[in-house]
């Protein structure tokens, strides 16, 4: 997803406004996809973009929601950091597949 594309920025704002209007109700990516007539992967990209824009777009195992509650935001941060850690582990494993036992370039 091209995050600089004005259409993606506008969709991100629309998704954010929709989630804010729901007042904390959790919505899945497929539900948002249907609502905004786009692919769930684009919705996930817009959620990520919204977070970089400073929107309090939180998530839990059931979906996405808008929240200014510190606990919700901190739980979302912890989930993202865990995903980053797992991605870093995958990179190390792939580097090892290239013959680098230390996982370095």
What DSSP line would sit under 52-64, residue for residue? Answer: HTT--EEEETTEE
4 with 18, same domain?
Answer: yes
pLDDT, tens digit, 9 for 90 and up, residues 45-98: 999 999 999 999 999 999 999 999 999 999 999 999 999 999 999 999 999 999
85 with 43, same domain?
Answer: no
Query: Can you tell me the distance from the alpha carbon of 104 to that of 92, in angstroms, rounded to the nearest whole number?
Result: 7
* pTM of the full structure: 0.85
CATH classification of the domain holding 30: 1.10.10.10
Q: What's the domain range around 97?
A: 69-105
pLDDT, tens digit, 9 for 90 and up, residues 4-57: 788 999 999 999 999 999 999 999 999 999 999 999 999 999 999 999 999 999
């Amino acid at each position: 997803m091209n995050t600089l594309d004005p259409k993606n920025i506008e969709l991100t704002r629309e998704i954010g406004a929709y989630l804010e209007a729901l007042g904390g109700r959790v919505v899945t990516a497929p539900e948002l996809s249907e609502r905004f007539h786009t692919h769930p992967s684009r919705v996930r990209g817009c959620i990520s973009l919204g977070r970089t824009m400073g929107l309090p777009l939180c998530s839990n195992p059931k979906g996405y929601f808008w929240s200014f509650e510190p606990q919700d935001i901190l739980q979302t941060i912890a989930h993202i950091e865990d995903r980053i850690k797992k991605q870093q582990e995958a990179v190390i494993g792939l580097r090892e597949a290239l013959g680098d036992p230390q996982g370095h370039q």
